[in-house]
Structures are given as C-alpha cells and as structure tokens.
A and B are shown apart, each in its own frame.
Chain A
C-alpha cells in the first residue's frame, strides 16, 4: 500500500520537473526520425525483414526511451538520499523495498506512456505493429522491465553509493552502449564483423530486442519471448539482491 502512495508521489512529481519528461522522450523521438531517415536504405538489402525501416527501428527507439529513461529512478533516489527525504520516509512504517518499489513503479508508468508515444510516431510514419495492441503492450512491458533490471539497477546502486544525482546522470551514455551493441540498427545477418556479432550474442539486451522486433514485424514467437523474459529474470535475480546488499553495506 505504501509503495502505491509513493508511486503516486512520483507521478505527481513528473509534470513539476519538465526536464525529466522533456529530455527523456524528445531526444528519442528526434533520434528515431533522424536515424530512420538516414538508414532507410538498409531496408533495401536482400533478406531484410521489412521494407519500412521505421518499422524495424521502432523497438530500438522504444528501448532508447525505456532503458536510459529508467536512470531517472536512480537520479530521484540520489536526490532523496541527498536531501534526507529518503530517511524521513523511513521514519514511517515503510520499508526500504517499498520506497524503492514506489519510485520504480512511478518511473515505469511514465516510461510506458513514453514508449507508447514512440510506437504512435512509428505508426504515423507508416509502420504497423503486426501483433496489434496486445503485442504493442507486450513490447512496452518487455522494454520497461529491461530498463528496470539494467540501467535501473546500475543507477540505483550508484545513487546508493554516491547520493549524488549529478553522478547518476553522468552515466546515462552507458545505457546507449547497451542498446547500440545489439541488432538495434541492422539484422545480425547483415553485420560483417564477427567480433561485433559475438558481442551482440553475449548481450542480454539482444534477447529482449529480438522478440520485441518479431512482435512488431512478424508475430508471436513464444520461445523467443520466453527467452527474453528469462534474460530479464536473470538480470533481475543478479541485480536486485546486489542492490539490497549494497544498500545494507552503506546504510546497514
């Protein structure tokens, strides 16, 4: 219950901090338009899964909204730790887990709306979501969960260690690396470098992006969707206890 009250608090905060809303969605939409236009010729390569590059790029743009965007949860956590409001919350019958969950849920809802905006722009540019609204919802859920277990975890841990919102913000480019080292802009079949292909194969984000793209372009590949959720669960099982341990080691 207290986690939901804190989710509500996060949702009230967003419109009062237009920087969060503006800078987490506008650059993504611009990148989507620019990269979609610049690389549109890629869709003419033989064997490319679609002739509309914006369609191919839509899941990438969705991840570009949700993964770096989840960094805001870490920035807000650092700000609350810095201002001691986090500690104030802990003087109420609220556990550390509820405080963090409230923040993550708030940011997840914001990111889900932003991800939906990306998909609406894709549709406006002639793209189609093959699996319709349920598939689009599944894509948004997968993208948001990936954001939580990757950059959400990294930024939360940095916030716990530094209590410095600026330091958390500074690592935002790392989130782009995670996405760029996938088949974000090109199918792996069309990537020549074996080194790059190996890196992509080792990147858990690739196993989430792949089923998201299938939901966009072809249909439900349940085995791939299952692998995607397994990758998310694996990262979560690694990251969430690590965060709890980190918190205890600093404040315990």
Chain B
C-alpha cells in the first residue's frame, strides 16, 4: 500500500467517524417516483410519467442515451427542476412541496460542474458545508479530509477556475459530500475523467456506501460504471422507463452483456 493511499484511507476513516446519527431515517424507500413527468415550456416532453422506488442504501443507475430524460429526472429529484406531473419523494419529503427539506438530506453533483471560479478549492468546499449548517471549524476539517480522500489535497489553495475539467469534477463531487448526506445524486459523475480518476471516484463512492449505507442515484451512459456501481438499473428512453432490474436480470434476459441489453431496449423503443 502506498503512503498516499494510506493517507486517503486514514482520512476516509476519520471522515466516517464524523458522520453523526443514523444515515437514513427509517422510512423504507429513500426515493420514490410516482408517474413523475416534466414538459418544458417549449412543449418538449422530457420525462413522461416515470414510476420507481429506490430502497435506502441501494445504488440505482438511470441508464439511457443522450436526450433520454436522465438529467431532467435527476434534476427533479434534486429539486433543481420543477415537475409538471406526478410526484416524487426523497427521504420522505415531496420534492416540489418541501425542496429545502430534500436538500438537507442530499448531495448533488451535477453534469455541468457548478463551481465558483473566484474561490479557492478549500473555500468552495467550506462554503458548501457551511450552507448545509456545518460550523466553520468542522467544515474546514471535512474539506481537508474529503480532498485527501479524492486525492486532491494539493489543490486546496488553488483557485477553482485554474483547475482542469476533470479535477473540477472531483472537487464538485467532494463538495457534494461535505455534509455526509444519506442520499447522493450524481449526474454523469465520471464523464470526461481519465480511467485512474474514474476508478478513484468509483472506489470512494463504493466505500461510502459500504461504510455509511448512503443511497446512490446516478445517471450514466457508461455500461462499466453502471455495472461497477449499481445494484439496480433503470433504462430510460424518450422520457420513459423502458425496463428496470439488476444488471444480472437484464443480461440474463437474452442479452449477453449490459450493453447488448441497453441496445436491445433502446432500439425496441425507437422502433
């Protein structure tokens, strides 16, 4: 084991120790969608009535081609996009009626990385933590630990604007975990990352799940990512949920690989 991975492991262990109380209130399902729909003002039906449930501690992947409605769906769950039909609950709170309650319980790393270009990495993360109610000293310590966990200690004092796209993405993800939320939404979390960074993020997310029992909901069109991170997968196309199941159940239904299953279900929808 190298000294950097030892440091990351120690940081991770300390971080886990900072988690207070039960990670998830005993509410059964962490995320529930009931006929959730979104039609934009220009008439585009981005999401057309998706219903599904994600159990607490589960990792659920929303898989689909570009424009399938993945980002809109996760945007509604993260309270950034207002649904126009149906309902959704996150940690027992209605995303439309109780957005602030939902936000207290989620971390959200967006597809378009939203970072403050004028702030240093550390300042950016500390502010995220403080907006979630952490005291300054706690936020500073957590930012140090999280940066160590994702291997970015050296950029703590650098302006976020000066970081590469991939590094910004990792910083954004780390910032989303500042309050150690019980539910984390990730929109294309490793898109554009090199294999090493991608592996590090997968490892961090898997470890967080194992140790803290967090619920993950992520969108991706990367089959490897879906297989590596997800207990269950829902394939969406043209705003509708085409099929859902475990990676094994999707591949055993006549398709040898997840990619073959994905092509099978999205092509059938296209036809």
A90 lies within 8 A of chain B by Cβ: yes
Q: Check B118–A95 contact: CB distance below 8 A.
A: no
* Stretch from B18-26, B100-108, B263-271 at the A interface: B100-108
Which A residue sits closest to B112, measured CB to CB?
Answer: A84
Q: Check B127–A5 contact: CB distance below 8 A.
A: yes
> From DSSP, what is the main secondary structure of chain A's interface residues?
helix
Q: Check A12–B115 contact: CB distance below 8 A.
A: no
Q: Mark B128-143, 1 if CB is under 8 A from A, else 0.
A: 1011110000000000
Which B residue sits closest to A16, measured CB to CB?
Answer: B118
Q: Check A91–B80 contact: CB distance below 8 A.
A: yes
B114 lies within 8 A of chain A by Cβ: yes
B94 lies within 8 A of chain A by Cβ: no
Bound-state CA distance A79–B115 (Å) is 11
Count of chain A to chain B residue pairs whose CB atoms are closer than 8 Å in the complex:
66
Residues in A whose Cβ lies below 8 Å from that of B115 = 83, 85, 88
Answer whether A87 and B110 are a contact pair too, CB < 8 Å, given A16-B118, A94-B131: yes
Residues in A whose Cβ lies below 8 Å from that of B114 = 83-89
B113 lies within 8 A of chain A by Cβ: yes
Q: How far does the Cβ of A217 sit from chain B's closest Cβ, in whole Å?
A: 41
Q: Check B130–A95 contact: CB distance below 8 A.
A: no
Q: Mark B83-121, 1 if CB is under 8 A from A, else 0.
A: 000000000000000001001101110101111111100
Bound-state CA distance A5–B123 (Å) is 12
B82 lies within 8 A of chain A by Cβ: yes
Chain B 71-88 residues near chain A, CB threshold 8 A: 78-80, 82
Answer whether A9 and B104 are a contact pair too, CB < 8 Å, given A87-B110, A93-B133, A94-B131: no
Q: Check B131–A84 contact: CB distance below 8 A.
A: no
Chain B 126-179 residues near chain A, CB threshold 8 A: 127-128, 130-133, 172, 175-176
Which A residue sits closest to B115, measured CB to CB?
Answer: A85
Bound-state CA distance A107–B127 (Å) is 19
Chain A 70-100 residues near chain B, CB threshold 8 A: 79-80, 83-95
Residues in A whose Cβ lies below 8 Å from that of B78 = 91
Answer whether A2 and B112 are a contact pair too, CB < 8 Å, given A88-B172, A90-B80, A252-B82: no
Which A residue sits closest to B75, measured CB to CB?
Answer: A87
Answer whether A92 and B118 are a contact pair too, CB < 8 Å, given A12-B123, A87-B80: no
Q: Mark B178-218, 1 if CB is under 8 A from A, else 0.
A: 00000000000000000000000000000000000000000
Q: How far does the Cβ of B228 sit from chain A's closest Cβ, in whole Å?
A: 24
Ranked nearest first, the 6 interchain pairs of A and B with the lowest CB-CB distance are A88-B114, A84-B114, A92-B131, A91-B108, A84-B112, A85-B114
Q: B residues bordering A, Cβ < 8 Å?
A: 78-80, 82, 100, 103-104, 106-108, 110, 112-119, 123, 127-128, 130-133, 172, 175-176
